[in-house]
Every structure is written in structure tokens, then in C-alpha cells.
Amino acid sequence: MTGDEPSWGAGRRLVVLDTETTGLNARLGDRVIEIGGIEMVNRRLTGSQFHRYVNPQRAIEEGALRVHGITDEFLADKPLFAGVADELLEYVRDAELVIHNAGFDVEFLNEELNRLGRGRITDYVAGVHDTLAQAREIHPGKKNSLDALCERYQVDNRQRTLHGALLDATLLAEVYLAMTRGQESLAIDIEESGVQGRARRTRIAGPALVVLAATEEELAAHAAVLEDIDRETRGGCLWRVAPHAGSDRSAGLY
């Protein structure tokens, strides 16, 4: 997370963002080819979306093509990143970005903006929240891909036969709401109770503790059992040599 930590989106404007690219390495010249964003305010989808395809001016790697299915031919007549940069920056301005594996998308956007002399994406937004890092904290040792999280939180992703920036942002928005619902409920409960920064104590009424003392017959039977054990172990019965042996307290401890 960069910037101020969000209170799980409460009272804030979020933009759930995703990109598709020509390959995996922004520093070696791979470029952004698709950007998708979904707006949420106060944890509610507003219906506002941002979606643009971008001509990367370079060929798409075969491995990337298998992931998203976007071809060089399809992008040939699309605008360059310079042609959509202003729209993108205006859309995300002052929002908190929610991104799955944020380091990947942020690096690509930073490289694109740097080519235009426009700084970094974090210069324009209130912060960046990485849902992959969050999922790994909540579900350590488990798969935390977007598909895995959709299955875990029962988000319907059957239409995701290929990756797509707008589709993935839409799915991630649902996953994010499901993944943070418990924390948000807790924050609301604390706020409504008027308690800030501390938990409330609740006294739970219950029946009085009833203590039943052993009868003389039960104590005699217990002593006889200890005697038998002591005889069989040739004086090795720990219950008889322990402090207060034979008392109610020692019977409970040993």
C-alpha cells in the first residue's frame, strides 16, 4: 500500500484498475495495450467506467496473446497512450486505486507516463491498494490469483475465458467488496457505538458455577485405587507423593 491506508473504502472514492500489456517486462519495452477502471464510492459501484485500448507501437508477445487474445491487427487503429493519458489521469485523480498485483500495473503505467514526462501514477492518486498482498495475508499458503479468489468468494467468473482489463477490474471490484466486508462491518459497528480506538466489553450472563464435593464413599474408592497403583508400581504412584495428594485440588491437577 502506498499513500494513506484506506478504511476498507468507507467514505472514499476507489477506482478498481487493471491493464493488459504486450508482455511481462515494462523496463525492457513492453507496453500497455488496454486499461480498465471501475469506480466505487462509499463501497458502492457508481456505474462509472473507464475503458480504452491503446496502440503500443510494437508487436505483442505470443505468451501475452494467449492470455488476453488482443492482436496487433485489432490495435492498429487505436490511439497511442499519449492520446488517452489525460482521460486516464483525470479519471483516477485523487482516488485510491485497487489493483491485483499492483506492482505490475503500476510499473507499466509509470513507464508510459515517464515517456510523456508526466511523472508517476502515484503523483495523481491518493494511494494504491494491492489486493494480492491483502489476499496473501488473509489466505496464507493458498492460491490467490483472481480466478482463485473468485472461486473462494463465489464471484461468477465463467465469462473470463481470456483476460481483459475491464472484465478483470469488474471481477476484482466484487472480490474486493467480499474480501473486505468483515472489516467494514467491524468499522461500522465501532463507529455506531461511539467507541473510538477501543473495543467494547460485554458481560455475558450465565449460571453460577456449581462445585460438587466428593462424598466419603468416593474419596475412599479413590484412595483404594491409588493404593493399588502404588502397590503395582512399588511406591511409584505420583498422586500419593505429590503435595496435598488425595485432596480435591491434587485430583484435579494430576
Active-site residue list? 163
Residue 127, by phi and psi: left (phi above 0), alpha (psi -120 to 50) or beta? left
Nearest CA to 17 out of 37, 33, 45 is that of 37
Q: Which three cell numbers stand for residue 23?
A: 508482455
Sheet strands (E) in 76-200: 96-99, 127-130
Q: How many CB atoms lie within 10 A of CB 186?
A: 12
3-state class of 8 per DSSP?
A: coil
Q: CA separation (Å) from 117 to 85, 122, 160, 206?
A: 11, 14, 35, 68
| Residue corresponding to grid cell 500489456 | 21
CA R_g for the chain: 31
